[in-house]
Amino acid sequence: MFEHDDPVLELTDEQCWKLLTNTRHGRIVLTAAGETDIFPINYLAHNNLLMMRSAPGTKLAEIAINENVLFETDGISSDEAWSVVIKGTARILQSGEEIAAAESLGLKTWIPTLKDFYIEVKPTRITGRHFILGQQPERF
């Protein structure tokens, strides 16, 4: 899937979505009142959107103040690594129909509670890179 001779390959949107679809766990970066926070989160890629679930708390409060979010997921093995970063906007699902559709996806959270909300992230920019891991070249 990721053949390249250079140590780093810039991924196409299609390659990014393939990685996003095959992964369940990433991090969301939120900024509100000049303060930036990062939260690990389970997610699902669905219809070119990311779906997440969250209990009430800091994450939801910050999204209500500033919808602009950053999302990152990555993977690393002994000889290769990749990373996909999304810039986008987040909204909390409100309608019963949307929530029912989100629930049908079977998305799991790290701390399941009865009061979870669903968050949808709509990407405005996707970037991804694939790395062939190697040794540092010798300095001398």
Q: Does 112 bind a copy of itself (CB under 8 A)?
A: yes
Q: Does 110 bind a copy of itself (CB under 8 A)?
A: yes
Taking CB under 8 A as the binding criterion, the range among 13-21, 57-65, 93-101, 105-113 that sits at the site for a copy of itself is 105-113
Binders of a copy of itself in range 56-75 (CB under 8 A) = 70, 72, 74
SS3 90: strand
Tokens (6 digits) for 26: 């990433």
- Beta strand 68-76 pairing with 80-92: antiparallel
Among 5, 40, 95, 97, binds a copy of itself (CB under 8 A): 40
Count CB neighbours of 129 within 10 A.
Answer: 17
Among 4, 22, 25, 124, binds a copy of itself (CB under 8 A): 25
How many residues belong to the site for a copy of itself (CB under 8 A)?
33
Q: Does 108 bind a copy of itself (CB under 8 A)?
A: yes
Cα 86 from Cα 88, distance rounded (Å): 6
Residue 129: partners with Cβ closer than 8 Å, 6 or more residues away = 8, 9, 10, 11, 82, 83
Tokens (6 digits) for 117: 């909300």
Closest to a copy of itself by CB, 21 or 36 = 36
Question: For residue 60, what is the enclosing H or E element?
Answer: helix 58-65
Query: To the nearest whole angstrom, how small is the minimum distance from the Cβ of residue 49 to a copy of itself?
Result: 19
Binding residues vs a copy of itself (CB under 8 A): 7-8, 25, 27, 29, 31, 36-40, 70, 72, 74, 76, 81, 83, 85, 108-114, 116, 131, 133-137, 139
